[in-house]
Structure 1
Amino acid sequence: MTYEEMDGRLRGLEPYEQKLKDKICRPDYSGFEQITYKQKGKTIQVYVMGYSCSETFDAPGRLRTARGHTVYVDKKRCNLFMNKNARFAEVEPHVHDWVELGYMYSGSCTQTVGETEIQLKQGQIIILDSGIPHAIGYTGENDILINMLMEKEFFDHSFYSRLADLGIITVFLMNVMSEQTYHDSYIVFDSEKDRRIQLFMKELICEFLSPTSMEKEIINNLIVLLFSELVNVYENGNVKELAGHRKTCVVPIMHYIEENFRECTLKDTAEIFGLNANYMTTLLKRMTGYSFKELVMEQRLQFAAGMILNTDLACDKIITMSGCGNGTYFYKKFKERFGCSPRDYRKKGKTG
């Protein structure tokens, strides 16, 4: 599939969109449960979409029990769905149990996330955590929003191991989408001028619309490339909103930990950045979900995981190189983080 063919496919009106445009029908949410959602002392009515993508979507087609949220849903691939948002209609406030990545392919749209109104422009990306109420304003013919819906199972051992070399900033972004967070998080990436983001998203859309014989491997690798580049976008400061708060600059601290994880201490790091030690670790915990000690350990574990997969060095040697002097504690934390021992982790890496 060429980019021109992809563009034509996305811009073409689905039968349901044509009916919406002609005002023959309206979105129907009668098949979804509506609940009262409390947030910051206020209550709003939201629709609950299924607890998994497969419970909510038919493939190919649209919402299983109601129409209006999407008009195109490709079949499930790798615990990952992709859809095109229905134009000529609004999407009512709703919540769901999967992570959503929205890419503004063309035009713009207004999204209301929680109580915050966001204007998403062409080329920008928004990532929404599970469980956060959000709605989409009316979109016209040129306003094409592509959503990738990722079930929790998508973020498995294989996915994390491919991102292992990217450091704790990657873990920070992934933690926004993990079960450890408060599920009120979102990130808006100002990626409209990022060449790679546009390339990777176009390739992903093409692979979904016209799958090849290697679709699973291609999709998995494109997703890793996409998230890798989103880390670059984040590190360059091109992020509007993060974890439900205005952006706070913790990136320099995290960079310092990445570069000095073997020997850095809370006291010394706080002094370098001119912060009170208790305040700094509280700030890190609030913004990343990790305390200073946990971030240091996470970086040591990631370093060790990379060495285990890519070298034949003995585990004891790798533990020493990571800066973790207590072997028993390291083995305990490694199993908590990766779900297996270092030895089994190496075996999994060799067998794929």
Structure 2
Amino acid sequence: MDVSVAQYASFYQFLKTLDCYLGYEEQMLAEVQRFAENPQREIAAFVTKETSEQIAVPTDFIRMLYVMKGTVSFKIDEEEKQLNTGGLIIANGAAQLSYRGELEAEVIAFYFKPSYFTESLLGQFFEEPLLYRFFVEALSDEFICISRFLVYDFAEATDVHFYALLLLKQVVKMAYFNNKVTKSAFVLLIVEISQAAPERLIAKDSVVSNGQLTEEILAYIDARLEQVTLEEVAGKFHFHPNYLSSMLKEKTGHSFTEIVLLRRIDRCKSYLEQTDLTIQTIVEGLGYKDKAFFYKRFKQVEGVTPRQYRKMRKEEN
């Protein structure tokens, strides 16, 4: 989707009618404090301008900072980054952030409480693995004290710019209270960031969580269980198939093939218990053309054939 200069101008004119501009650090700190103390608010958004003094960004929230105009010098932990219009930083609650900009610079700041990221919201961008993983890990106790961040550099005339303004407009328009349209705007922004060229990501933390990554891979396998292959999953998560298989074996105790088989058996059991589908239909639906092979493996795992399992469960109920 290409967004015209006229549409950008319209957004800027609308923003000028909203009370979302803060001129100095004390105003920002006061706004974040009000946000923190209001249990009904899960997201906050505002614009800082005339930021020639160093501004410390409060921690303990997931934060997204977007350079709407000008040039800004950011400090992430101890690392300095200079970003121009289109620069974007996403950080968890532990990352130490501060910034200083040119007099005309304007920065959009989004703050999110953990409660904002419901399972249904995260599920809407599950297929964007880098950002999905980032937000899942940002909510995890495993990383509560570990700094995590992503830094992007987008050209001004990209749809990321448009969707950042759209989310700001929606949050402020709704008086900072959460609603479905606001979350839809957030998802659009996340997907647009994810669809950008890989070189737009110019810096990130070096922390890797194999535990969280494994959970994400297993969730993907479940979502594609009927036709999933090792090569497909390896390509999705940017691993060599042999490495992915070894990692799964280390983390779960099962090879990729065993994981798929066991999960298909579990799904087969659910169908046997909850539907009247024929066993042939169930087995073919799970991706097996050779019913005898699946029967044999099912009995090895469960101790009974699928037909005996269905009969046994019906008798129990």
Smaller-chain TM-score bracket:
0.5 to 0.7
1:96-144 deviations in Å (ceiling 9; x for gaps): 21100001111121111112111122112110111122221x3333111
- Which residue of structure 1 lines up, in the alignment, with residue 84 of structure 2? 121
How far the C-alpha of 1:226 sits from its partner, in A, is 0.8
Cα distance, 1:12 vs structure 2: 9.7
Which residue of structure 1 aligns with residue 163 of structure 2? 200
Q: Distance in 1 between matches of 2:80 and 2:18?
A: 26
Partner residue, 1:161? 123
Tell whether the 8 Å contact from 1:175 to 1:181 is kept in structure 2 after alignment: no
TM-score by length of 2: 0.58
Tell me which of 11, 14, 31 is aligned to 1:3. 11
Give 1:132's aligned residue: 95
Structure 2 letter corresponding to 1:127:
I
Give the superposition deviation at 1:278.
8.4
Distance in 1, matches of 2:117 and 2:129, equals 16
**Greater RCO structure (CA 8 Å; 6+ sep):** 2
Equivalent position of 2:138 in the other structure: 177
Deviation at 1:187, TM superposition (A): 0.3
> Relative to 1, partners in 2 of residues 1:28 and 1:169: Cα closer, same or farther, differing over 3 Å?
closer
Which residues of 2 match residues 219-230 of structure 1 at below 5 A? 219-230=182-193
**Residue 138 of structure 2 aligns to a residue in which SS?**
coil
- Which residue identity does 2:109 align to in structure 1? N
Q: Which residue in 2 is equivalent to 1:112?
A: 75
User: Distance between the aligned counterparts of 2:202 and 2:48, measured in 1?
Assistant: 23
Q: Distance in 1 between matches of 2:276 and 2:138?
A: 33
2:202 maps to 240
Instruction: Give SS of 1:96's match.
Output: coil
Structure number, greater radius of gyration: 2
Equivalent in the alignment of 1:57: 33
Mark the runs of 5 or more structure 1 residues left unpaired by the alignment: 21-25, 30-48, 65-74, 286-291, 305-311, 330-352
Instruction: Map residues 20-169 of structure 1 onto 2, 5 A cutoff.
Output: 56-58=32-34, 79-85=42-48, 87-92=51-56, 96-136=59-99, 138-164=100-126, 166=127, 168-169=129-130
C-alpha displacement at 1:206, in angstroms? 2.0
Give how far 1:180 is off: 5.3
For residues 213-235 of structure 1, give each alpha carbon's deviation from its aligned partner in whole angstroms, at most 9, with x where no partner exists.
Answer: x97222110001111111112x6
TM (norm. structure 1) is: 0.53
Aligned mates of 2:70, 2:158 — CA distance in 1: 17
Q: Deviations over 1:67-123 (max 9, x none)?
A: xxxxxxxx887611112235242124x652110000111112111111211112211
Shift of the 107–318 alpha-carbon distance from structure 1 to 2, 3 Å rule, reads farther
2:158 and 2:283 map into 1 onto residues whose CA distance is 37
SS at match of 1:220: helix
Q: Whose helix fraction is larger, Structure 1's or Structure 2's?
A: 2
- SS of equivalent residue, structure 1 residue 81: strand
Preserved contact between residue 176 and residue 186 of structure 1 (Cα < 8 Å): no
**How far, CA to CA, are the matches of 1:88 and 1:173 in structure 2?**
31
CA contact (8 A) 1:207 1:215 kept: no
Give the letter for the 1:163 counterpart. F
Considering only aligned residues, what root-mean-square deviation do their CA atoms show, in Å? 5.1
Are 2:71 and 2:85, in contact at CA under 8 Å, matched by a contact in 1?
yes
Identity of aligned residues (%): 10
**Residue correspondences, number:** 245
* Paired AA for residue 118 in structure 1: K
Determine if contact 1:108/1:122 at 8 Å carries over to the other structure.
Answer: yes
Contact 2:72-2:105 at 8 Å conserved across structures: yes
Structure 2: unaligned runs, 5 residues or longer: 1-8, 268-274, 289-296, 302-317
